[in-house]
């Protein structure tokens, strides 16, 4: 069994160069079988001791090659017959081997932080044969760390904040530094934090880098100082002398807490406000000072006392935190000239941890009311007065009064706003304010006079105010009652005695408070030889009754009955109304049958205008009847029109035989066809082709072949002429379609049966002609001698 052993020489470097020591070890012999059973196990990871490792100091500064170790095969009898060969990472460049002695060197300085180890393979060959003496073996060159990296903080500058007045030891933030050196080896990466700036406010935990407050709440006051710059250092080598350091800056801000109450800058504030200031207007602003900021400086103002407690309000302007003093109730200089208010201020969001000795502050606000020249003021906003409609000129109706509220009590002058009394019905005493009548009144014409009265200062008309005066004109009985309407009445010739022929009533323009009470009676001139009586019903109506039987129409055609109507108010007013009673012939039931001629015409009760209207109606009716008859006659000639609604579309009728399969006009076979063809057939039916405007559709089979059609032309000309001269033809343009077989047809009929044998379209000889004057109405003639229609 052949064995291969590698002599490992490894150097262990202490930190100081002079304390460098070399250790030598011998690699354990390994049998090939053992390695095989390891499955090519060159990494024996479970072993705590890495035998196949060479160690090399990083950052070597020497000028010659750095010696790493020696490879040796026990087949080597040191006679120069063995040749060592190196392969793997950096072989030949970074690492070189002496092929005779097996000495391994590094050609240049290496950085562990760049690459911590290199994996290489070595082999011993028979120099003369070039054959390997052993299987090649793998080994590792590991770089030995030196403290060549200083700690580095994650950020150059940290920012952090901590509430002011925090307890001692409150955590602010944590800073961490990293050291690139080997953490597993020595202290090169073992860091210790310390604070180099920021004493005595803050401290740092040496091993965690947590920054904490180092002073108590009393000393951490934002209002004193709110910004701190703290410098933290991290030192490796566990903080020992000779370690490398890195540092960072931490900007710490103290955040606000509500540790200050608002305070008024002054104890007394003074404002003045004109007396006529509207309610809600601002009188002034006061502001308390709060050392805190933001939400902690929000404050509420309240009026807590003083004689102006009810008169003023204070609110907080949230953007400025000012107390805004406003007027709540109207001010009157003449009544009260000064007000005193106690205004209190306190924080909106107090912090219960900071119980101030007095969280509220109170200030006094003095408000003086300034005098304003005010217009005179009426005792009332409006006045209601009454005056009898028959009041004499100059009668005083009532009076208004206004006083100047100012201290000086300036004299007042009254006038009537003439816009409200354009007719100068009223006037007012300039100095006294008494309103008197200047023109006669009529309640029946104007029942209310609503006027405006203006009171102004005598020497300053600008200072004025106005009041409404509602003058009601009260009724007096100055109108006589009259018949409520013109009564049309008649009496039958064969009437009996004491027959009621009419009920009458009356109207009166006056408006008595207790309502109307009319009395009816016969006038003196009608009582002699009276033929009628008037019976008062006691309810403002009366009945007219016959007094005798038998009135002769021919004897006396009309009777006049004079009725006296009296009202019930003092002074009594009465009038006489005359009723006309016609004598007429009646049937047994008392229905009027015949009166005298003048009676009839007037009985009809129609004016000439109405008669003319009726006459016109009759004429129009007659015309309609005539027109209807004419249309009806015409319609009889149109048996093919199925519906009147769309005459233009209905030039196609369906009760025909049809022209065969090509006769798309006769019935729609579109449903059986290609959509394109359907489209085409639609076009044919709906669009009126006009040669001048549209090119003829490609399949326009209705087009008349121009040759050999003299008889057709004649036929059309004749029809056009007929239509033009037809008195029953409609007065507008219409479309007339004719079916004409032509005289050259072989068949008697143009039915599809007859045409089946013919070989061309033209044989159909059917046509549709659009006469210039025939556009709208299809006038269709189904010829008796033709058995097809189109
Ligand atoms: C090298 O090979 C030669 C020829 O085969 C042999 O004589 C010699 O012993 C070998 N050397 C070693 C060290 O095996
Ligand atoms: C608060 O005061 C400011 C400045 O005087 C003003 O512009 C703003 O309109 C006020 N806000 C209110 C709600 O009155
Ligand atoms: C005048 O005032 C009275 C009472 O308010 C009212 O009834 C009447 O309609 C008014 N007349 C006119 C013309 O405004
Ligand atoms: C009553 O009728 C008679 C006869 O018709 C007539 O003569 C007489 O004048 C009438 N009386 C009055 C008051 O019209």
Cα–Cα nearest to 342, from 322, 329, 319, 361: 361
133-142, 395-404, 752-761: the lowest-pLDDT one: 752-761
Phi-psi region of 286 (alpha: psi -120 to 50; beta: other; left: phi over 0): beta
Give the chain's mean pLDDT. Answer: 76
41 vs 361, more confident = 361
Q: Determine the pLDDT at residue 777.
A: 35
Q: What does the longest C-alpha to C-alpha distance in the chain come to?
A: 190
Which ligand 3 atom is nearest residue 384's CA? Answer: 4
For ligand 1, atom 7, the nearest C-alpha belongs to 128
Going by C-beta distance under 8 Å and a sequence separation of 6 or more, which residues neighbour residue 54? 8, 9, 10, 68, 69, 104, 139, 140, 141, 142
Q: In terms of C-beta density within 10 A (0-12 exposed, 13-18 middle, 19 or more buried), how is residue 294 classed?
A: exposed
pLDDT surpasses 90 at 456: yes
Reduce the DSSP state of residue 542 to 3 states and report it: strand
The H or E element that residue 301 is part of is: strand 299-305
Ligand lying closest to the C-alpha of residue 556: 4
Residue 779 has pLDDT above 80, yes or no: no
Q: Range with the lowest mean pLDDT among 222-226, 608-612, 631-635?
A: 608-612
> Is 450 touching ligand 3 by the criterion CB < 6 Å?
yes
Ligand 2 pocket, mutate which of 318, 320, 324 (most atoms under 8 A from CB): 320
Distance CA 666, CA 651 (A): 10
Q: Whose CA is nearest to atom 6 of ligand 3?
A: 448
Q: Taking the alpha carbons of 522, 528, 533, 538 in that order, is the dihedral positive or negative? A: positive
Check residue 455 and give its pLDDT: 94
Quick one: which ligand is closest to 322's CA?
2
Residue 126 Cα, ligand 1 centroid: separation in angstroms?
6
CA of 556 to the centre of ligand 4 (A): 8
Ligand nearest to the CA of 546: 4
pLDDT value at 243 more than 90 = no
> What value does the mean pLDDT take over residues 598-624?
63
Contacts of 4 (CB under 8 A, 6+ apart): 30, 73, 74, 75, 124, 133, 134, 135, 137
pLDDT at 496: 84
Nearest ligand to residue 127 Cα: 1
Confidence (pLDDT) at 610: 57
pLDDT of 674 reads 52
Average pLDDT over residues 525-533: 82
Q: Which ligand 4 atom lies nearest to the CA of residue 527?
A: 13
Residue ID of nearest Cα to ligand 3 atom 4: 470
Pocket of ligand 2 (CB under 6 A): 317, 319-320
- Tell me which residue has its CA closest to atom 1 in ligand 2: 317
Q: What is the mean predicted confidence (pLDDT) over 475-497?
A: 85
Q: Which residue has the higher pLDDT, 269 or 739?
A: 269
pLDDT score of 271 more than 90:
yes
Average the pLDDT over 117-138 and give the result: 87
Up-side HSE of residue 677: CA atoms within 13 Å toward CB? 9
pLDDT computed for residue 347 by the predictor: 92
| pLDDT for residue 138 | 87
Nearest to 520 by CA among 464, 589, 566: 566
Query: Rounded to the nearest whole angstrom, what is the distance from the C-alpha of residue 317 to the centroid of ligand 2?
Result: 6
- Position 415 pLDDT exceeds 70: yes
State residue 439 phi and psi, 5-degree precision: -140, 155
Q: Which ligand is nearest to the CA of 132?
A: 1
Among 217-221, 362-366, 543-547, name the most confident range: 362-366
SS3 (DSSP) at 624: helix
Q: Find the helix or strand (DSSP H, E) in which 609 lies.
A: helix 608-636
Q: Model confidence at 366, in pLDDT bands (50, 70, 90)?
A: very high
Lowest mean per-residue pLDDT among 180-194, 543-557, 658-672 = 658-672
Residue among 559, 561, 581, 582 to mutate when testing ligand 4 (max atoms within 8 A of CB): 559
Q: Is 70 exceeded by the pLDDT of residue 762?
A: no
Is pTM, for the whole model, over 0.75?
no
User: How confident is the model at residue 680, as a pLDDT?
Assistant: 45
pLDDT tens by residue, 281-337: 999 999 999 999 999 999 999 999 999 899 999 999 999 999 999 999 999 998 899
Query: How many Cβ atoms from other residues are within 10 Å of residue 180's Cβ?
Result: 18
Give the mean model confidence (pLDDT) for residues 523-528. Answer: 80
pLDDT number for residue 182? 77
Task: Quote the ligand 2 centre to 324 CA distance (angstroms).
Answer: 9
**Which residues line ligand 1 at a C-beta cut-off of 6 Å?**
75, 81, 126, 128-129
**Closest residue (by CA) to atom 4 of ligand 2?**
320
Length of the chain: 790
pLDDT tens for residues 690-719? 444 444 444 444 444 445 567 767 877 887
DSSP state of 296: G
Question: Cα 160–165–166 angle (5° rounding)?
Answer: 60
Is the pLDDT reported for residue 204 higher than 90? yes
- Annotate 494-513 with DSSP letters as a single string: T--TT-EEEEEEEE-S---T
Ligand 3 atom having least distance to the Cα of 447: 11
Q: What is the distance in A from the centroid of ligand 3 to the CA of 56?
A: 119
Highest mean pLDDT (candidates 60-64, 140-144, 723-727): 140-144
3-state SS, residue 711: helix
How far does residue 558's CA lie from ligand 4's centre (Å)? 10
Q: Where are the alpha helices (DSSP H) in 191-303?
A: none
- Distance, in Å, from the CA atom of 234 to the CA atom of 211, rounded to the nearest integer, reads 13
Among 280, 289, 295, 238, CA closest to 262: 289
Residue 727 pLDDT level (bands cut at 50, 70, 90): low
Q: Considering only CA atoms, which residue is closest to atom 10 of ligand 2?
A: 317
Cis peptide bond N-terminal to 200, omega within 30:
yes
Residues lining ligand 4, judged by CB closer than 6 Å? 526, 528-531, 555-556, 559
- Residues with Cβ within 8 Å of 148's Cβ and at least 6 positions away in sequence, in order, are 58, 59, 111, 113, 181
The domains of the chain, with CATH numbers, are 2-28+46-144 (2.60.40.60), 152-255 (2.60.40.60), 263-370 (2.60.40.60), 383-474 (2.60.40.60), 487-606 (2.60.40.60), 645-788 (no CATH)
pLDDT, position 608: 55
In sequence order, what are the residues at sequence separation of 6 or more whose Cβ sits closer than 8 angstroms to the Cβ of residue 378?
Answer: 400, 401, 402, 453, 455, 465, 466, 467
pLDDT of 783: 38
How far, in Å, from the CA of 380 to the mean position of ligand 3?
18
What's the rounded Cα separation, in Å, for the pair 328 and 303? 12
Predicted local confidence at residue 419, as pLDDT: 93
Which segment of 342-346, 364-368, 624-628 scores lowest on mean pLDDT? Answer: 624-628
Backbone angles phi, psi at 438, to 5 degrees: -120, -20
Q: Which helix (H) or strand (E) segment is 753 a member of? A: helix 752-755
pLDDT at residue 162, rounded to an integer: 94
Whether pLDDT at 754 is above 60: no
If one compares 201 and 783, the residue with the highest pLDDT of the two is 201
Asked if the model's pLDDT at residue 739 lies above 90, the reply is no
Ligand nearest to the CA of 448: 3
Residues 6+ apart with CB under 8 A from 182: 112, 116, 145, 188, 189
pLDDT at residue 689, rounded to an integer: 40
Tell me the backbone φ, ψ of residue 171, rounded to 5 degrees.
-70, 135
**What average pLDDT does range 376-388 have in this prediction?**
91
Q: How far is CA 601 from CA 245, 494, 594, 604, 608, in A?
A: 135, 22, 11, 5, 11
Q: Whose CA is nearest to atom 4 of ligand 1?
A: 129
CB 315 less than 6 A from any atom of ligand 3: no
The predicted structure's pLDDT at residue 195: 94
Please name which ligand lies nearest the alpha carbon of 420.
3
Substitution site in 556, 582, 596 for ligand 4 pocket (most atoms within 8 Å of beta carbon): 556
* Any atom of ligand 3 within 6 Å of the Cβ of 452: no
Closest atom, ligand 4, to C-alpha of 556: 5
∠ CA 714-720-725, nearest 5°, is 125
Spacing, Cα 466 to ligand 3 middle (Å): 17
In the chain, the percentage of residues whose pLDDT exceeds 70 is 73
Residue closest via CA to ligand 4's atom 5 equals 556
Best mutation site among 470, 471, 473 for ligand 3, i.e. most ligand atoms within 8 A of its Cβ? 470
Average pLDDT of 446-467? 91
CA distance 365 to 749: 119
- Mode of pairing for the β-strands spanning 7-12 and 21-26: antiparallel
What integer is the mean pLDDT of 478-497?
A: 86
């Amino acid at each position: 069994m052949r064995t291969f052993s590698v002599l490992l020489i490894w150097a262990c470097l202490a930190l100081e160069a002079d304390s460098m020591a070399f250790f030598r070890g011998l690699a354990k012999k390994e049998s090939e079988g053992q390695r095989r059973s390891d499955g090519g196990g060159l990494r024996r990871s479970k072993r705590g001791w890495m035998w196949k490792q060479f160690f090399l100091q990083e950052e070597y500064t020497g000028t010659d090659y750095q010696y790493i170790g020696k490879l040796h095969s026990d087949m080597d009898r040191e006679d120069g017959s063995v040749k060592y060969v190196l392969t793997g990472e950096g072989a030949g460049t970074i690492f070189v081997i002496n092929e005779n002695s097996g000495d391994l060197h590094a050609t240049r300085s290496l950085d562990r932080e760049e690459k911590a180890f290199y994996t290489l393979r070595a082999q011993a060959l028979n120099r003369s044969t070039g054959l390997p003496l052993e299987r090649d073996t793998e080994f590792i060159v590991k770089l030995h760390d030196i403290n060549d990296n200083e700690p580095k903080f994650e950020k150059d500058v940290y920012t952090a904040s901590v509430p002011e007045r925090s307890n001692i030891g409150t955590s602010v933030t944590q800073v961490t530094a990293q050291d690139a050196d080997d953490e597993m080896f020595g202290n090169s990466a073992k860091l210790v934090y310390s604070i180099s700036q920021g004493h005595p406010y803050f401290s740092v935990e040496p091993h965690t880098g947590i920054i904490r407050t180092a002073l108590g709440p009393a000393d951490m006051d934002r209002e004193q100082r709110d910004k701190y710059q703290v410098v933290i250092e991290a030192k490796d080598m566990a903080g020992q002398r000779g370690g490398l350091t890195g540092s960072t800056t931490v900007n710490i801000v103290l955040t606000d807490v509500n540790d200050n109450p608002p305070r008024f800058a002054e104890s007394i504030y003074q404002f003045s406000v004109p007396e006529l200031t509207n309610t809600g207007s601002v009188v002034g602003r006061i502001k308390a000072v709060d050392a805190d900021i933001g939400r902690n400086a929000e404050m509420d103002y309240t009026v807590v006392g003083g004689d102006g407690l009810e008169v003023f309000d204070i609110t907080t302007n949230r953007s400025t935190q000012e107390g805004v003093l406003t007027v709540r109730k109207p001010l009157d200089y003449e009544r009260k000239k000064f007000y005193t208010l106690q205004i209190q201020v306190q924080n909106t969001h107090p912090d219960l941890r900071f119980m101030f000795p007095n969280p509220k502050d109170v200030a006094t606000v003095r408000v003086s009311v300034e005098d304003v020249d005010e217009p005179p003021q009426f005792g009332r906003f409006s006045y209601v007065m009454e005056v009898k409609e028959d009041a004499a000129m100059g009668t005083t109706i009532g009076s208004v009064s206004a006083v100047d509220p100012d201290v000086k009590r300036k004299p007042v002058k009254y006038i009537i706003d003439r816009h409200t009394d354009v007719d100068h019905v009223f006037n007012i005493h300039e100095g006294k304010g008494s309103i008197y009548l200047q023109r006669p009144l009529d309640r029946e014409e104007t029942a209310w006079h609503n006027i405006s009265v203006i009171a102004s200062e005598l020497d300053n008309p600008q200072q004025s105010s106005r009041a409404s005066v509602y003058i009601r004109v009260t009724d007096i009985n100055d109108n006589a009652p009259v018949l409520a309407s013109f009564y049309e009445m008649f009496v039958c010739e064969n009437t009996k005695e004491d027959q009621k022929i009419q009920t009458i009533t009356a109207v009166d323009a006056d408006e008595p408070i207790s309502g109307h009470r009319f009395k009816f009676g016969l006038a003196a001139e009608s009582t002699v030889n009276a033929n009628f009586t008037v019976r008062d019903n006691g309810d403002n109506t009366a009945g007219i009754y016959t007094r005798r039987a038998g009135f002769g129409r021919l004897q006396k055609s009309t009777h006049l009955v004079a009725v006296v109507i009296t009202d019930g108010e003092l002074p009594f007013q009465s009038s006489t109304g005359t009723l006309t009673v016609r004598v007429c012939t009646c049937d047994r039931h008392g229905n009027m049958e015949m009166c005298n001629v003048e009676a009839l015409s007037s009985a009809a009760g129609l004016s000439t205008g109405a008669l003319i209207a009726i006459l016109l109606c009759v004429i129009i009716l007659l015309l309609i009847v005539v027109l209807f008859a004419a249309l009806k006659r015409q319609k009889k000639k149109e048996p093919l029109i199925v519906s009147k609604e769309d005459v233009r579309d209905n030039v196609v009728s369906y009760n025909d035989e049809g022209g065969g399969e090509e006769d798309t006009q006769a019935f729609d076979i579109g449903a059986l066809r290609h959509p394109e063809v359907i489209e085409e057939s639609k076009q044919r039916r709906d669009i009126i082709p006009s040669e001048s405007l549209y090119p003829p559709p490609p399949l326009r089979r209705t087009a008349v072949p121009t040759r050999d059609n003299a008889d057709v032309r004649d036929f059309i000309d004749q029809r056009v002429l007929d239509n033009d001269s037809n008195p029953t033809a409609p007065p507008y343009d219409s479309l007339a379609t004719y079916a004409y077989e032509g005289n050259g047809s072989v068949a008697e009929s143009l039915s599809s049966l007859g045409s089946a044998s013919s070989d061309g379209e033209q044989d159909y000889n059917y046509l549709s002609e659009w006469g210039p004057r025939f556009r709208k109405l299809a006038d269709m003639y189904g010829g008796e001698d033709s058995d097809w229609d189109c």
